[in-house]
Amino acid sequence: MTQPAPRLSPEQAEQAAGRAAAIVAAVEGFIQGKRETVELSLTCLLAQGHLLIEDVPGVGKTSLARSLATALGMSWHRIQFTPDLLPSDVTGVSVFHQVSQTFEFHPGPIFASIVLADEINRASPRTQSALLEVMEERTVTVDGTSHGVPQPFLVMATQNPIDSEGTFPLPEAQLDRFLMSISIGYPDAAAEARVLANAHDGVRIDALPHVGDPRDVLDLIDAAKSVFVDAAVIDYIVALVAATRDAPGVRLGASPRGSVGLMRAAQASALMAGRSYVVPADAQRLAVPVLAHRLILDENEAVDSTAAFRVRTDAIGAAVDTVPAP
């Protein structure tokens, strides 16, 4: 019989929130004016999910991944996805050595704690699908042998707007593997001035303070799993996700994986807020980043990426407004 997760005490939740706040503050030392983005990224990591960022070039997507990895002392790799990228360029390959008459596995760049999959939708669907197993199982299978990736593990993928030239839309199965989809957006004038000041003063990402290590992150992940979710809140999350399946303009609503993802993200968010329990507001705040990319629209609604996002957010907003919170 499976044992229930141990309850987190209020004192433990406050301690975990302090550690999470220190991580956010360290990353904000380089990523200026984007506190919510940094917090969502950390929430995604603590919920053991993956993050999809759709935005224009130059707003700090690569810097966000590097800053988070640096602050936590975690390994990171960047993979530039291009139309000619092969699956083996991502996962690695087995090479035969004539002297020893054996195959030796040469790991690909996917073997890092934080992997930035840059412009993922410029690669072919075949190469995109190479990420499916590792995102779900945290293992890579090459020539029938499974290889585990470092823990903790986060894929932070970026994509150009889907109506841009030379892009391949991500398959629904892969979109569903991302816990969250967000947009960074341009900084305000004051934050952009601080970016310029940092560049002028020679501030480097690798000079950010180390405020944790992979073991600390794993401890925070375990703490997030122990955040209490009342049965009434579970029912509320289920009803919230179910409401997206009947929304106008939506052909397929969020899957049960979306329900699980929303609960896990709500637990991580509650922990970062210093609470040992989830409240409905946690799920409401995270509903759009966790659920929007999972909604498949009717063909006549998906005119362009902006219109499609509006339909998705309207459907989720209506669910939040109409489903009674406990």
> What is the residue extent of each domain of the chain?
228-326
Please write the tens of the pLDDT for every residue from 262-295: 999 999 999 999 999 999 999 999 999 999 999 9
CA 264, 269, 272: angle at the middle one, nearest 5? 130
- The predicted model scores a pTM of 0.90
For the CA atoms of 314, 320, 322, 325, the dihedral, rounded to the nearest 10 degrees, stands at 180
Please write the tens of the pLDDT for every residue from 16-55: 999 999 999 999 888 888 899 999 999 999 999 999 998 7
Looking at domain 228-326, its CATH architecture is Orthogonal Bundle (1.10)
Please write the tens of the pLDDT for every residue from 155-181: 999 887 654 555 677 778 888 889 999
Q: How far is CA 290 from CA 43, 128, 192, 240, 326, in A?
A: 11, 20, 28, 12, 20
Instruction: For the chain, give the percent of residues with pLDDT over 70.
Output: 94
User: What does the alpha-carbon distance between residue 199 and residue 197 come to, in Å, rounded to a whole number?
Assistant: 5
The residue-averaged pLDDT of 79-107 equals 86
Bridge partners, 116 (sequence order): 78, 156
